[in-house]
Amino acid sequence: MSERFIPSGLANRLGRAATLSLIAGTVGGAAVLAGQAFAARHRRYAQPELALALRATVGRADAPPLRLVLLGDSSALGVGVGRLDETIGGQLANLLAEGPNGRRVHLSSVGVSGSRSTDLATQVARALLGERPDVAVILIGANDATTLRRPVEAAAYLGAAVHRLREARVEVVVGTCPDLGAVRAIAPPLRNVVGWSGRRVARAQTAAVLDAGGTVVDLATETGAVFRADAGTLCHDGYHPSADGYRVWAHALLPAVAAAAAVASRH
């Protein structure tokens, strides 16, 4: 996969995180934070693999069909890996297709790298074009956290997206903001700041999604310890998941997604 310098948007968010965290008094040392923001800006980060089209059919031809769509940020696209079966969507599809009660999964993604919760309305519109999906998996929150957006505001946009999908009779599973304290592309204490911000976003997301009728999987709680312990769960940039990292997330999401698929089959 080709490497490019960190996108300016993420660089600006990291710089803003450093500045605001200093003002809030959450960490000390302007010089330390400024240096860390500069270092993060000049790292090389994984980019979306343009040749990787997240649209595939997985499973036996005679198995019950399941239309699965992913929405959200770079996670929904599988940034950090180069093959469909390494992405979280591909791994979920394979897991759902396995076994005697497996499904024939029609997988697609409308996610956009760099997306925040405010971008979900457009993605929902795209997801509902054509044949209605049975299950939607939303992965969002990291970019809301790194911009230090007010968690309640970000969660409100997520809740609206979940509500709209539920009104269209789509089962919805949301993977909340992952453990940003596990990323290695950002050094402490700036890493501690974005980790704290991520936890606040995840808590607000949980309340909004449940109120809107969706199902929540707390990715930070379920998988954060694994990401902190194993550097191999992140790809070469130390920020996006690797194939192993997406596998960890897929297994955490699988029970909720399988349950949603069972409900959808009764519609």
Active site residues: 74, 237, 240
Structure tokens at 20: 């605001």
* CA 76 to chain CA centroid, nearest Å: 6
3-state DSSP assignment of residue 108: strand
Does 189 sit behind a cis peptide bond, omega within 30 degrees of 0 on the bond before it? yes
| Cβ atoms of 156 and 208 closer than 8 Å | yes
- CA angle in degrees (0–180, nearest 5) for 205-209-214: 145
| Alpha-carbon gap, residue 104 to 265, rounded angstroms | 12
| Alpha-carbon gap, residue 120 to 39, rounded angstroms | 30
